[in-house]
Structure 1
Amino acid sequence: MRMAVLGGGPGGLYAAYLWKSRHPGDEVVLFEQNPTGVTWGFGVVFSDQALDFLRADDPETVDAIAPRMERWSNITLTLRGESLQIDGVGFSAIGRLELLTLLQQRAAAAGVVMRHQHTVQSLDELAGFDLIVAADGLNSLVRRGFEGDFGTSLSYSANKFAWYGTTKRFETLSQTFVATDRGHFNAHHYRYSPTMSTFLVECDRATWDAYGFADKTVEESQAICEQVFATVLDGQPLVSNRSIWRNFPWIWNERWSFRNIVLIGDALHSAHFSIGSGTRLAIEDAIALMKALEAADGDLPAGLSQYQAARKPIVHKLVTAARASADWYDRFPEHMALPLADFGHSYITRSGRIDDARLRAMAPQFMARYDAAHAGARQAGDNR
C-alpha cells in the first residue's frame, strides 16, 4: 500500500510511524508545511491513563518519551490568593517540539519519507496513493474540501484565550483565577521541562471587551497578562509564539472517511484544552486506524468503516466531557464566588466523569478538606 499522511503533528507522525514500522514493504510519505524545528504552542500534557493506554500498544515509544517528561500527582487551584491542592491526579508533560522531534526520529528510523516545507495545494497531487490520512489539524485542507461529505460541523466557545510560555517553573498542573477591576481571568499553567512552562490565559468576553483586547497588539496584550498574573509569574515574562487571542473551535465530523481519505486528530474532532486530551486523542486515533486497517486485511473500505465504528463512540464520550468542561469555564467568573473548597469540588467534577465516590478514592486529602468545610458550615448553622 502507498500511504500519504498530511500533517506532521503528533497524530500524523504517529500514524506514519506505526504503519511503516509494521509494514516495512509499504510506502509511507508524510507532508508537513512547516520546516523541522518549528511548531505552535509550548507543552503537551498526558494523563497517567493516557500513557498507560499508549504503553499497552507501543511500549518502545513510551520508553523513548518518558525520560524527557515532567511529572506530578496533584492539581493546584489558586483563588483569591489562597491555594488548594487536589491530590491523586497524575499528569506528565513534554515540550511539543521535543515530542515532535522524538516522533520524527522514530518515523525516519522506520523508513517514513518526510517532506517538510511542503504544502499540498490540491489532493490531485496525491493521485497515486492508496490511502490519504488527513492529520492536518483544525484548519484541515482535506476536511474543508469535502465538508459536506464528512458531515462537518463547526462552532466556537465564547471565552477568549491566548497560549503563552514562561520560564517560571510550576510544580504541578495549576489553575490561577484572578478578579480585577475590569473583569475575570484564569491561567492554565504547568511545567513541561525543567526550565519552561505553558501559561495559557483565558477570559470571558465581557473582560476581553473591557480591556479592549480587540484593539491591542500582541505585545500590548502580553504586557496586560503579565501585569494581571504578576504575582503568579514572580516577575518572569511571558513568552509569545503566535500568542494571539482565539475562541476555541469545536469541530466534529459525522463521517470519518470519504473515498480513500480518512480524518484523524484535530482535523476530525476537537477537545477543549481544559481536559488536555487533544494530543492523546490524535495518537489514539492513529492506533485505532492502523488496527482497523490491519484487521481488514487489504479491504480498505472495510477497514475505514471499522475504524469509525470502533472509535467514534469512544471519542464522542470524551468530546461530550470536554464540552461540559468548557461550559464550566464559560461561567468561571460565577464559580469564583464559591468558598474555596466548594470551588475545588465544582472544578474537579465539571466534566461529569468524576463523582464523589471516585473522588474519595483518588483524592482522599482533598475530600477530607471538603468534608471538613461542609461539617464546619453545618455546625455553624446548628449553633445559630
Structure 2
Amino acid sequence: MRIAVLGGGPGGLTFAYLWKKRHRDARIDLFEQNAAGATFGFGVVFSEQALEFLRADDHELVDAITPKMESWQNITLNLRGQSVAIDGVGFSSIGRLPLLTILRERVRAVDVAPRYDTVISSVDQLKGYDLIVAADGLNSLVRRSFEKQFGAQVSYSTNKFAWYGTTKRFETLSQTFVSTDLGAFNAHHYRYSPRMSTFLVECDAATWAAYDLEHKTIEQSQAICEQIFAATLDGHPLVSNKSVWRNFPWIWNENWSSGNMVLIGDALHSAHFSIGSGTRLAIEDAIALTKALEAERDIRNGLARYQAERQPIVKKLVAAARTSADWYEHFAEHMRLDPMDFAYSYITRSGRIDDARLRAMSPAFMARYEAARSRS
C-alpha cells in the first residue's frame, strides 16, 4: 500500500510510525512544509487520564515522553491577589519540540524519512497513492479543497489569545485573572521544562479593541502583556514564537473521509486550549485510524469504521470543550465572584464534574468550598 501523510505534527508522525511498524512492506511518504527543527508554540499538556488512555494503546510513546515531562497534582487560580488551589487534578506537560523529536526518532527507526520543507499546494500532486492521511492542521489543504465532501464547518470564538512562553517557572498549571481600567485579561500558564513555561494570554474582543492590539506589533503586544502580568511574571520576560493575536477556530467535519482521503487531528476537529486535548486527540486519531484500517480488508470500509468508532468519543470531548470555551467567553463576569465561588465555577465549567465527583477528586478544595458556603 502507498500512503501519503500530510503534516509532520504529532498525529501524522504517530500514524506513519504505527502503520510502518506493523506493515513493513508499506510505502509511506510524509510531507511537512516546515523545516525539520521548526515548531510553533511552547509546551503541550496532558491530563493523567489522557496519559492512561494513551498508555493503553501506545505504552512505548508514554514511556518515552514521561522522563521529559513536568508533572503536578494541583491547579492554582489567582484572582484579586488571592490564590485558590484545587487538589487532585493531575497534569503533565512536555515541550512541543521535544515531543516532536521523540516522534521523529520513532518514524526514522521504522525507515520512514519525512520530507521537510516540502509544500503540497494541490491534492493533484498526490495522485497514485492508495490512501491520503490529512494531518495538516487547522488550515488543512485537503479539508479546504473538499469542504463539501467532508461537510466541513469552521467558526471562531470571539475571544482573542496570544501564545507566549516565559522563563518563569510555575509549580502547577495556573490561571491568573487580572482586571485593568480597559478590561480583563486571563493567562493560562504552566511549566513544561525545568526552565520554561507556557504563558497563553486571553481577553475578550472589547478589551482587545480598547488596547488597540490590532495595530500593535508583536513586540508592542508582548510589552503590554508583560506589564499587565508583571506581578505574575516576577521580572521574567515573555518569549514570542510568532505570538500573534488570534481567535480560536472551531473545526468539525460531518464526514471524516472522502474517497481515499481521511482527516485526523486539527484538520478534522479542534478542541479548545482550555481543556488541553488537541495533541492527545491527534495521537488517538492516528491510533484509531490504524486499528480501523487493520480491521477491514477494504480501505473505504476501514475509513468508515474509523469514523463510526471514533466519532462518538470525540464528540463528547468537543462538546465539553465548547462548554468550557463558553465559560471563558464570559470570564470577566465570573471574576466578580468570591474567589472560592469563582474556583467552583471554573472547575465545574465543562459540565463533566459534579459535586460528588469533586468531593472524591478534590477533597481539600471541596472542604474549603463547602465550609465557605456554610458561613455565607
Match for residue 310 of structure 1?
309
Displacement over 4 Å in runs of 4+: none
Name the CA distance, whole Å, in 2 between partners of 1:107 and 1:369.
49
Match for residue 289 of structure 1?
289
Match for residue 37 of structure 1?
37
Q: Deviations over 1:142-200 (max 9, x none)?
A: 10000000000111101000000000000000000000111100000000000000000
Match for residue 122 of structure 1?
122
Query: What TM-score, normalized to structure 1?
Result: 0.97
Name the CA distance, whole Å, in 2 between partners of 1:63 and 1:36.
23
SS across alignment from 1:271: coil
Match for residue 80 of structure 1?
80
Match for residue 367 of structure 1?
366
Match for residue 239 of structure 2?
239
Name the CA distance, whole Å, in 2 between partners of 1:207 and 1:71.
33
Q: RMSD of the TM alignment (CA)?
A: 0.6
Q: What is the Cα deviation at residue 83 of structure 1? A: 0.3
Name the CA distance, whole Å, in 2 between partners of 1:329 and 1:105.
37
Name the CA distance, whole Å, in 2 between partners of 1:332 and 1:153.
26
SS across alignment from 1:8: coil
Match for residue 147 of structure 2?
147
Name the CA distance, whole Å, in 1 between partners of 2:351 and 2:25.
45
Match for residue 23 of structure 2?
23
Q: How many residues align?
A: 376
Match for residue 102 of structure 1?
102
SS across alignment from 1:313: helix
Match for residue 322 of structure 1?
321
Amino acid in the other structure paired with 1:355 = D
Name the CA distance, whole Å, in 2 between partners of 1:238 and 1:293.
44
Percent identity between the two aligned chains: 72
Q: Deviations over 1:18-61 (max 9, x none)?
A: 11111111111110000111011000101111111111111111
Further displaced range: 123-132 or 69-78: 123-132
1:201 aligns with 2:188: no
Name the CA distance, whole Å, in 1 between partners of 2:257 and 2:202.
34
Amino acid in the other structure paired with 2:77 = L
Name the CA distance, whole Å, in 2 between partners of 1:60 and 1:288.
16
SS across alignment from 1:329: helix
Name the CA distance, whole Å, in 1 between partners of 2:60 and 2:219.
42
Q: What is the Cα deviation at residue 113 of structure 1? A: 2.4
1:157 aligns with 2:181: no
Name the CA distance, whole Å, in 2 between partners of 1:188 and 1:150.
33
Match for residue 173 of structure 1?
173
1:254 aligns with 2:254: yes
Amino acid in the other structure paired with 2:329 = D
SS across alignment from 2:74: strand
Match for residue 382 of structure 1?
none
Query: What TM-score, normalized to structure 2?
Result: 0.99
Match for residue 344 of structure 2?
345
Q: What is the Cα deviation at residue 122 of structure 1? A: 1.5
Runs of 5+ in structure 2 lacking a partner?
none
Name the CA distance, whole Å, in 2 between partners of 1:329 and 1:60.
36
Name the CA distance, whole Å, in 2 between partners of 1:294 and 1:115.
26
Name the CA distance, whole Å, in 1 between partners of 2:160 and 2:125.
37
Match for residue 354 of structure 2?
355
SS across alignment from 2:90: strand
Match for residue 51 of structure 1?
51
Match for residue 336 of structure 1?
335
Q: What is the Cα deviation at residue 103 of structure 1? A: 0.2
Q: Deviations over 1:288-326 (max 9, x none)?
A: 100000000x31011000000001111111110000000
Q: What is the Cα deviation at residue 347 of structure 1? A: 0.2
Q: What is the Cα deviation at residue 214 of structure 1? A: 1.0
Name the CA distance, whole Å, in 2 between partners of 1:308 and 1:155.
22
Name the CA distance, whole Å, in 2 between partners of 1:90 and 1:37.
30
Q: What is the Cα deviation at residue 348 of structure 1? A: 0.4
